[in-house]
Amino acid sequence: MSDAPLRHAEPFDPPGEPWVRVSPRLATLRRLLTVVGGLLGVAVLTAVAWLIATWLAVVVAIAGLALLVWVWVAVGRRVRSWGYAERAEDLLVTQGILVRRLVVVPYGRMQFVDVTAGPLDRRFGLATVQLHTAAAATDAQIPGLVPEEAARLRDRLAARGEAGAAGV
Amino acid sequence: MSESPLAAPAAAPAGAGAEAGFRRLHPFTPVLRGWKIFAAAFAIGLQQAYGDISFGWLLTAVALSIPVGVVYGWASWRATKYRVGDEDLRLETGVFRKRSRRVRLDRLQAVDVVRPFIARVLGLAELRLEVAGGSSAEAPLAYLSEQDALRLRAELLARAAGLHHETPEAPEVVLLQVPLARLVEATVRSVAVIGSVISLVVVVVVAIVVGEWSVLTFVVPFGLTVVPVTVRQILAHFGFTVAESPDGLRLRHGLIETRSQTVPPGRVQAVRIVEPWLWRSQDWVRIDVDVAGYVGENQNRAATLCPVAPRAEALQVLARVLPGVDIAAVPLTGVPEQARWLDPVAWRQLGVGADERVLVTRTGRFTRVTDVVLHEKVQSVRLTQGPVQRRLGLASVHLDTTPGPVNATAEHRPAGEARALVDAEVARARVARAAARPDRWMSPPGGSATPTVTR
**Residue B8 banded pLDDT, cuts 50, 70, 90:** very low
Report the distance separating Cα B80 and Cα B98, nearest Å. Answer: 9
Q: Which residues on chain B are in Cβ contact (under 8 Å) with A3?
A: 424, 427-428
Q: Between B435 and B338, whose confidence is greater? A: B338
Return the pLDDT at B297. Answer: 63
pTM, 2 dp: 0.83
The percentage of residues in chain B with a pLDDT greater than 90, rounded to a whole number, is 44
Return the pLDDT at B286. Answer: 95
Flag if B403 and A136 touch (Cβ within 8 Å). yes
Determine the average pLDDT of the residues in B17-24.
72
Return the pLDDT at B9. Answer: 38
Which of B403, B415, B424 shows the shortest C-beta gap to A1?
Answer: B424
For A167, nearest residue in chain B (alpha carbons): B439
Flag if A104 and B430 touch (Cβ within 8 Å). no
Cβ proximity of B405 and B290 under 8 Å? yes
List C-alpha distances in Å: B194 to A2, B2, B188.
Answer: 47, 40, 7
For B352, nearest residue in chain A (alpha carbons): A1
> pLDDT per residue over B357-391, tens digit each?
999 999 999 999 999 999 999 999 999 999 999 99
Return the pLDDT at B349. Answer: 94
Contacts of B419 (CB under 8 A, 6+ apart): A8, A10, A11, A12, A13, A102, B383, B395
All residue ranges of chain A with pLDDT < 50 are 1-6
Q: Which residues on chain B are in Cβ contact (under 8 Å) with A74?
A: none
Alpha-carbon distance A21 to nearest alpha carbon in chain B (angstroms): 19
Chain A stretch 10-29, residues whose beta carbon is closer than 8 A to a beta carbon of chain B: 10-13, 15
Q: Which residues on chain B are in Cβ contact (under 8 Å) with A8?
A: 416, 419-420, 423
Mutation test of the interface with chain B: which of A81, A86, A101, A168, choosing the one with the most B Cβ atoms within 10 A? A168
Report the distance separating Cα A164 and Cα A138, nearest Å. Answer: 18
Report the distance separating Cα A157 and Cα A139, nearest Å. Answer: 16
Q: Between B43 and B155, whose confidence is greater? A: B155
Which of B395, B427, B430 shows the shortest C-beta gap to A11?
Answer: B395
Is residue B173 classed exposed, middle or buried when 0-12, 13-18 and 19+ CB atoms within 10 A define those classes?
Answer: exposed
Return the pLDDT at B10. Answer: 40
Cβ proximity of B113 and B273 under 8 Å? no
Which of A89, A136, A138 shows the shortest C-beta gap to B430?
Answer: A89
Q: Between A21 and B324, whose confidence is greater? A: A21
**Of A29-38, A41-50, B220-229, B322-331, where does mean pLDDT reach its minimum?**
B220-229
**Residue B52 banded pLDDT, cuts 50, 70, 90:** low
**Pairing relation of β-strands B380-385 and B394-400?**
antiparallel
Return the pLDDT at B187. Answer: 92
Q: How many CB atoms lie within 10 A of CB A123?
A: 10
> pLDDT per residue over B103-134, tens digit each?
888 888 889 999 999 899 989 999 988 887 66
Return the pLDDT at B346. Answer: 93
Mutation test of the interface with chain A: which of B379, B388, B399, B431, choosing the one with the most A Cβ atoms within 10 A? B379
> pLDDT per residue over B61-89, tens digit each?
777 777 888 888 888 889 999 998 888 88
Return the pLDDT at B455. Answer: 31
Contacts of B344 (CB under 8 A, 6+ apart): none
For B292, nearest residue in chain A (alpha carbons): A168
Return the pLDDT at B135. Answer: 58
Determine the average pLDDT of the residues in B437-443.
74
Of all helices (H) and strands (E), which one includes residue A145?
Answer: strand A140-145
Segment of A3-7, B176-180, B217-221, B445-449 carrying the highest mean pLDDT: B176-180
Alpha-carbon distance A46 to nearest alpha carbon in chain B (angstroms): 33
Flag if B416 and A102 touch (Cβ within 8 Å). no
Residue A102 has φ and ψ, to the nearest 5°, of -145, 130
- Please give the interface size between A and B, counted as residue pairs whose CB atoms are below 8 Å apart: 118
Report the distance separating Cα A54 and Cα A43, nearest Å. Answer: 14
The percentage of residues in chain B with a pLDDT greater than 70, rounded to a whole number, is 88
Looking at every residue in chain B, the average pLDDT score rounds to 84
Contacts of A81 (CB under 8 A, 6+ apart): A94, A95, A96, A97, A100
**Pairing relation of β-strands B380-385 and B368-374?**
unpaired
Alpha-carbon distance B30 to nearest alpha carbon in chain A (angstroms): 35
